[in-house]
């Protein structure tokens, strides 16, 4: 991960004001675009693998986090999550700067094409993108990929639905995108008729907490809904994305700092397989 140098940190209020002032920057930040960032970074952190990026941020409510059983507040019901995604949508894929650690391949969705409601409040889907390995962990385990669906509200608040991706069967919904990813920085590609709903697991049980963008400028707050059920992609599909980000493009987990994680999951899911480096913990 990348660490904000302390002297460059804005006051919290300033940071939140900046978010309101520049919605586009916030969305781009969520999209893992590093190109607009002017904040200085620790040179030592740049380009290193996730495991080596374990420095904690000085900001208090950062993402991602390790979802640890003992720290989760289990509740019977959470505000209801309703997906109002169309069955199919045309997306524009953009390589935002591979192999940069804060870059990704982003799929932009046409304005107004898809939204969700949470507890009756409407959030518009702006884009989705991927990280490798997963940013969130469950009891210390990550998965090969994680997908982020970035939503905004009329007041510019941000909500991200995170989907963990395991290795398994080939994913037909992802294939039209991963079968031909834009492999050079700033390359774009139009992909028609993406099966948007099929990119998410059927069940909606989740972990919810207040965090941040996982890319510069690490803006707080961002509402995170991490779905408990994962989806799967094939080894070849994982490799297609990893080839663009050999050192990974995920941020290390951040301290919870007393935040509450709420979940309507009865039992924590266990990943079907683990990263090789962590095989001893499977």
Write out the residues near Zn ion by the rule CB under 5 A. 148
Going by DSSP bridges, is the β-strand pair 158-167/222-227 parallel, antiparallel, or unpaired? parallel
The H or E element that residue 235 is part of is helix 235-242
Which residue, 148 or 151, is less far from Zn ion as judged by CB? Answer: 148
Torsion of CA 56, 60, 66, 68, to 10 degrees: 130
Which residue, 118 or 160, is less far from Zn ion as judged by CB? Answer: 160
Which residue, 63 or 237, is less far from Zn ion as judged by CB? Answer: 63
Distances (CA, A) of 20 to 10, 118, 122, 222: 15, 21, 18, 13
Q: Which residue is nearest to Zn ion (CB)?
A: 148
Q: Report the nearest approach of Zn ion to the CB of residue 218 (Å).
A: 12
Contact in structure between 97 and 34 (CB atoms under 8 Å)? yes
Give dist(CA 154, CA 205) in Å, integer.
26
Which residue, 49 or 264, is less far from Zn ion as judged by CB? Answer: 49
DSSP-derived secondary structure for 198-216: GGS-S---EEEEEE--SST
Q: Report the nearest approach of Zn ion to the CB of residue 266 (Å).
A: 27
Which residue, 107 or 240, is less far from Zn ion as judged by CB? Answer: 107
Token pair belonging to 50: 């996730």
Which residue, 63 or 171, is less far from Zn ion as judged by CB? Answer: 63
Q: Report the nearest approach of Zn ion to the CB of residue 63 (Å).
A: 9
Q: Report the nearest approach of Zn ion to the CB of residue 255 (Å).
A: 19
Q: Report the nearest approach of Zn ion to the CB of residue 267 (Å).
A: 26
Q: Report the nearest approach of Zn ion to the CB of residue 132 (Å).
A: 11
């Amino acid at each position: 991960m990348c660490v904000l140098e302390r002297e460059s940190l804005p006051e919290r209020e300033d940071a939140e004001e900046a978010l309101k002032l520049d919605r586009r920057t916030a969305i781009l930040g969520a999209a893992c675009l590093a190109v607009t960032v002017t904040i200085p970074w620790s040179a030592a952190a740049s380009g290193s693998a996730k495991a080596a990026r374990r420095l904690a941020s000085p900001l208090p409510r950062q993402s991602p986090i390790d979802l640890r059983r003992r720290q989760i507040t289990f509740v019977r019901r959470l505000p209801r999550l309703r997906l109002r995604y169309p069955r199919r949508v045309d997306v524009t894929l953009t390589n935002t700067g591979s192999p940069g650690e804060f870059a990704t391949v982003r799929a932009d969705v046409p304005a107004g094409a898809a939204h969700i409601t949470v507890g009756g409040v409407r959030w518009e889907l702006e884009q989705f993108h991927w990280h490798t390995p997963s940013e969130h962990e469950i009891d210390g385990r990550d998965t090969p990929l994680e997908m982020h669906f970035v939503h905004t509200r009329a007041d510019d608040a941000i909500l991200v639905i995170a989907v963990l991706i395991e290795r398994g069967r080939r994913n037909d919904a992802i294939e039209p995108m991963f079968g031909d990813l834009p492999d050079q920085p700033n390359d774009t590609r139009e992909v028609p008729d993406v099966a948007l709903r099929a990119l998410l697991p059927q069940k909606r049980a989740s972990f919810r907490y207040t965090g941040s963008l996982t890319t510069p400028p690490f803006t707080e707050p961002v509402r995170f809904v991490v779905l408990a059920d994962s989806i799967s992609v094939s080894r070849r599909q994982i490799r297609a994305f990893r080839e663009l980000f050999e050192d990974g493009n995920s941020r290390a987990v951040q301290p919870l700092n007393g935040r509450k994680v709420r979940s309507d999951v009865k039992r924590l899911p266990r990943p079907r397989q683990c990263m090789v480096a962590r095989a001893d913990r499977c």
